[in-house]
Amino acid sequence: MKTTKSEKQSMKSGFLWRAGVIIFTIALTTFSLRAFVGTFIHTEVYNVDTKLSSLEWFAKKVSGNHNGTIMFSGGEIQNDHGKLTGSFEVDMNTIENKDIKSVEYKAKLENHLKSEDFFSVAKFPVSKFIITSLTPVMEASPDGFTHTVKGNLTIKDKTNEISFDAIVKLEDGKIFCTGSVIIDRSKFDVKYGSKKFFPNIGDKMIYDEFTLKFNVVAGK
C-alpha cells in the first residue's frame, strides 16, 4: 500500500514536532540543571582592603625589643555558604620600624631587616598565607576568639603550617578578622642572631619567635 503525499507530509510534520519537543526538553533540563547547580557552587568573594587592614610585628632580643608595621599587598576571603577560606599576600618591601626615634637608626634597622641577614626582600618580595581550615571555637574564649585558623605561611620561599585563634565576623557586607600569631623565624631560614644556628652568640642573641598582630578588613 502506497503512502500518499499528504500522509508523507503529515508524518514529516509529526517527526519534526516530536524532535522539537525533545530538543526543547533537553535544553530546558540543561538550563534548569545549571541553575540548580549554580545555586550550590556560588561563592562570595571578599577582597582584602589593603588600606583599612593592618599588620604589626613585635620582636625581642636580649638587649631590648623592636616593633613596627608591614602592609598587605592583596588577598581575598571566599565565603561558600558559611565556609570561609582565603589567601593573603604581604609586601615585604613595606617593613617599617615604629619605636626608633632617630631617622638614621630607624632606616638602618629597616634596611637590615630587608637584607639577606633576615628576609632577603630583593629575592623574596612577597610573603603569603593560605587558609587550609577555619574552625569555630566550641567553648567561649576570654579573648573573644570565634575561630581557630590553620594555614600555610610562606616566607623566603619556605612554607610551614601555622595555627592561631582569631575573631572572625561578618558585618555590614564586610568580613573582619583580628588576632595575633607567633612565628618562629628559624623555620623560614632567617638565621641572623639565632641561638639555634649560633649557640655561642651570647647577649647578641635575637629571639627566634616574633609576634604578628593583624586586623583584616575584606569587602566585595
Per-block mean pLDDT, blocks of 10 residues, the chain (220 long): 52 50 45 43 89 98 96 96 92 98 98 98 98 89 90 98 96 95 97 95 95 96
Instruction: Residue 147: count other Cβ atoms within 10 Å of its Cβ.
Output: 19
pLDDT at res. 197: 95
Q: What residues pair up with 71 in beta bridges, in sequence order?
A: 91
Q: Rounded CA gap, 48 and 176, in Å? A: 10
Cβ(83)–Cβ(76) below 8 Å: no
pLDDT at res. 13: 54
Using alpha carbons, select from 75, 69, 90 the residue that is nearest to residue 217. Answer: 75
| pTM for the predicted model, two decimal places | 0.79
Cβ(129)–Cβ(152) below 8 Å: yes
pLDDT at res. 139: 80
Cβ(176)–Cβ(168) below 8 Å: yes
Q: What is the DSSP letter of 98?
A: S
Alpha helix stretches (DSSP H) within 47-177: 103-114
pLDDT at res. 4: 56
pLDDT at res. 166: 96
pLDDT at res. 42: 73
pLDDT at res. 218: 97
**pLDDT digits 0-9 by tens, 75-102:** 999 999 888 999 999 999 999 999 999 9
Q: Return the SS3 of 118.
A: coil
